[in-house]
Amino acid sequence: MLQRFSRLTANHRLAHAYLLVGPQDSGKTQTALSVAQLVNCESEKSKPCGECAACRKIASGNHPDVHVIGNDEMDSIKIEDIRFLLGRAQLMAYEGKTKVFIIRNIELMTPEAANALLKTLEEPAANTLMILTTSVPEDSLETIRSRCHVVKFFLKEENIPNNRKVLDEMLLNRNNDSFLKELSADPKEITQALKLLLSFFRDVILFKSGVSKAALVHQDNLKEMERFATRGFEELTLIIRQIVQTKELVDENLNVKMSLSLLREHIWAN
Ligand SMILES: [Zn+2]
């Protein structure tokens, strides 16, 4: 994957924005960081060398021209985050050659944030590279996709512990009141469960988009995946949004029972 970017850089054909699409844990963020090293590396020989000051600063998250926004904790990306980035994009590069902005999991952007980002993609600042990542190839973010070069990633290995009970209770049992009650009592448990559900529904969307089974995290839940894949993209996105909203409530120590019930309704909607 990195070789492809190396060639583009060597030939001065690197575009100003890329969207890396693939399941969780398929190496998108690592590749984005390696590309940031590639374009800022000070070595005369093979780039990225991993040893020069620029490479090391990027690896440790301390390079003033390389910014990473978004995480795996399902925190939504807000307009303030994008505005911060826009401010930085207007500045000269401090020490690097190219300013690199990595925005992870863009499906978690609020609509306002997505709109602000869109403007940046339309009028790219000089010497700026945007690398966006997402696990949800089909989303309401079509306009953003259309302004980026899309690069597809595939899963290397399964990293998500498959908690069969959570999926069984949430996807197969409509009368799961006692499970929801049990779950909502423990913030740690519920966060784990929401992560699992999020990765499942991301898989459903990938599956529905025609991604090969080998690239999915939840290959052993193919039956359920086929069932949910008959739903529209909009409905599936709604489920994902509800999962993310529930996670936000957990973070704020608020009661999540209502939110979980609503999630159940979305899951069982027909
Ligand atoms: Zn280097």
CB-based contacts of 147: which residues, under 8 Å, 6+ apart?
17, 118, 121, 122
- Report helix, strand or coil for 248: helix
- Report helix, strand or coil for 143: helix
pTM over 0.85: no
Distance of CA 110 from the midpoint of ligand 1 (Å): 35
Distance of CA 67 from the midpoint of ligand 1 (Å): 17
Report the candidate in 205, 204, 201 with the shortest Cα–Cα distance to residue 239: 201
Question: How many other C-beta atoms lie within 10 A of the C-beta of residue 122?
Answer: 9
Residue ranges in the chain modelled with pLDDT below 50: 157-159
Distance of CA 35 from the midpoint of ligand 1 (Å): 11
Distance of CA 66 from the midpoint of ligand 1 (Å): 14
- Give the strand pairing for 99-103 and 128-134: parallel
Distance of CA 236 from the midpoint of ligand 1 (Å): 42
The burial of 151, by beta-carbon neighbours within 10 Å (0-12 exposed, 13-18 middle, 19 or more buried), is given as middle
In order of their start, the domains of the chain are 2-152 (3.40.50.300), 160-267 (1.20.272)
**Residue 62 backbone dihedrals phi, psi, to 5 degrees:** -115, 15
**Residue 20 backbone dihedrals phi, psi, to 5 degrees:** -90, 120
pLDDT at 20: 93
- Helix 28-40 to helix 2-10 angle, to the nearest 10 degrees? 30
Q: Which two tokens stand for residue 181?
A: 């009650």
d(C-alpha 68, C-alpha 214), whole Å: 29
Distance of CA 44 from the midpoint of ligand 1 (Å): 9
Residue 206 and residue 215 in contact, taking contact as beta carbons nearer than 8 Å:
yes
Distance of CA 51 from the midpoint of ligand 1 (Å): 5
